[in-house]
């Protein structure tokens, strides 16, 4: 059993918290208030960032001490939204939210994952008709192994996990968010994920 704090109590955070609790972990969900997030992060071994990406950097930078030595699993995408509220551009072109978080939190092990799919797929990948792929980006091999274990608890098979390499590879997966509005407009709000087939 691992003590996990989920920052963000929306659809993404709520879904992950429920699934990880069912897998036997002790999960605390924090809302957007600074006090709630700090309390949850302080006692956790692993912290999941499921806050809206546009505000994640400021929100998590304020938790530098609470996140010291922890694994931070970043599942958010930082975007500039269009008039319809859908992602229209990247907030950090030429970089990524994950890189910005790692720079701001040098004593925290940031791992990017689960950000290339509709939130329902994060904990139910086997519900899709084709095999999905989940990606890992980060600097710390040990932290990646821990996150692989969490992904297994979320029903991801090891052969569905692709380690892309260092944290700057998160630029590629975060850019995939720009597919989302077009997929939803053409296919509706149905579960989907990026899949690498060979």
3-state secondary structure string across the chain: CCEEEEECCCHHHHHHHHHHHHCCCEEEEECCCHHHHHHHHHHCCEEEECCCHHHHHHHHHCCCCCCCCCEEEECCCCEEECCCCCEEEECCCCCCHHHHHHHHCCCCEEEECCCCECHHHHCCHHHCCCCCCEEEEECCHHHHHHHHHHHHHCCCCHHHEEEEECHHHHHHHHHHHHHHHHHHHHHCCCCCECCCCC
pLDDT band, very low/low/confident/very high, at 73 (cuts 50, 70, 90): very high
Q: What is the pLDDT of residues 125-162, one digit of tens each?
A: 999 999 999 999 999 999 999 999 999 999 999 999 99
* Dmax (CA) of the chain: 46
Domains of the chain: 3-187 (3.40.50.720)
Q: How many CB atoms lie within 10 A of CB 28?
A: 18
pLDDT given for residue 107 in this prediction: 98
Q: What is the mean pLDDT of residues 92-97?
A: 97
pLDDT given for residue 92 in this prediction: 97
Q: Tokens for 189?
A: 């709000």
* pTM for this predicted structure: 0.96
Q: Tokens for 21?
A: 């609790």
Query: For residue 32, is pLDDT > 80?
Result: no
Q: What is the mean pLDDT of residues 173-192?
A: 90
pLDDT given for residue 85 in this prediction: 86
Q: What is the pLDDT of residues 35-71, one digit of tens each?
A: 899 999 999 999 999 999 999 999 999 999 999 999 9
């Amino acid at each position: 059993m691992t003590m996990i704090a989920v920052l963000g109590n929306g659809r993404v955070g709520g879904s992950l918290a429920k699934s990880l609790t069912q897998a036997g972990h002790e999960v605390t969900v924090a809302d957007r208030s600074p006090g709630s997030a700090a309390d949850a992060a302080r006692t956790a071994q692993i912290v999941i960032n499921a806050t809206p990406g546009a505000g994640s950097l400021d929100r998590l930078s304020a938790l530098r001490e609470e996140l010291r030595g922890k694994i931070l699993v970043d599942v958010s995408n930082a975007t500039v939204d269009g008039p319809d509220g859908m992602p229209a551009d990247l907030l950090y072109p030429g970089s990524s939210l994950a890189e910005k978080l790692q720079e701001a939190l040098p004593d925290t092990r940031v791992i990017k994952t689960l950000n290339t799919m509709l939130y329902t797929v994060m904990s139910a990948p086997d519900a899709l008709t084709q095999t999905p792929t989940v990606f890992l980006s980060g600097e710390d091999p040990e932290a990646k192994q821990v996150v692989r274990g969490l992904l297994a608890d979320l029903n991801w098979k090891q052969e569905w996990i692709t380690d892309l390499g260092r944290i700057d590879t998160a630029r590629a997966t975060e850019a995939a968010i720009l597919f989302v509005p077009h997929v939803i407009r053409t296919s509706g709000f149905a579960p989907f994920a990026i899949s690498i087939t060979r």
